[in-house]
Chains A and B, each alone.
Chain A
Amino acid sequence: MEIPENVRKRLSIPADEHFYAGHTACQGCGASLGLRYVLKAYGKKTIFAIPACCSTIIAGPWPYSALDANLFHTAFETTGAVIGGIEAALKAKGYKVKGEDGIMVVGWAGDGGTADIGLQALSGFLERGHDAVYIMYDNEAYMNTGIQRSSSTPYGAWTTNTPGGKMHFLEKRNKKKVIDIVIAHEVPYAATASIAYPEDFIRKLKKAQKIPGPSFIQLFAPCPTGWRSPTDKSIELARLAVQTAYFPLFEYENGKYKINMPSTKKEPKPIEEFLKYQGRFKYMTKEDIERLQEWVNREWEKLKKLAEVFG
Chain B
Amino acid sequence: MRNINFTKYKYFTLSFSFLAIVLGFAITFGKYGGFAHSLDFNGGLRTVVELPADKTRSDLEGYFQSKNIEAVVILLEKEKNIYQLDIGLGSLETIESLYKEIPEANRESSTSAIDRFVQLLRYEYKLPKEKVLSADQVGAVVGGELTEVGITLLLTTLAIILLYLSIRSQFKFALASSIALVHDILMTLALIGFLQIKPSVPIIAALLTLLGYSINDKIVVFDRIRENAHGKDNLALSNIINVSITQTLGRTINTSFTTMISVVAIIVGGAVELYDFAFVLLFGVIVGTYSSIYIAAPISEIYDQLRKKRFA
B and A form one assembly: no
Q: Which B residues fall within an 8 A CB radius of A?
A: none
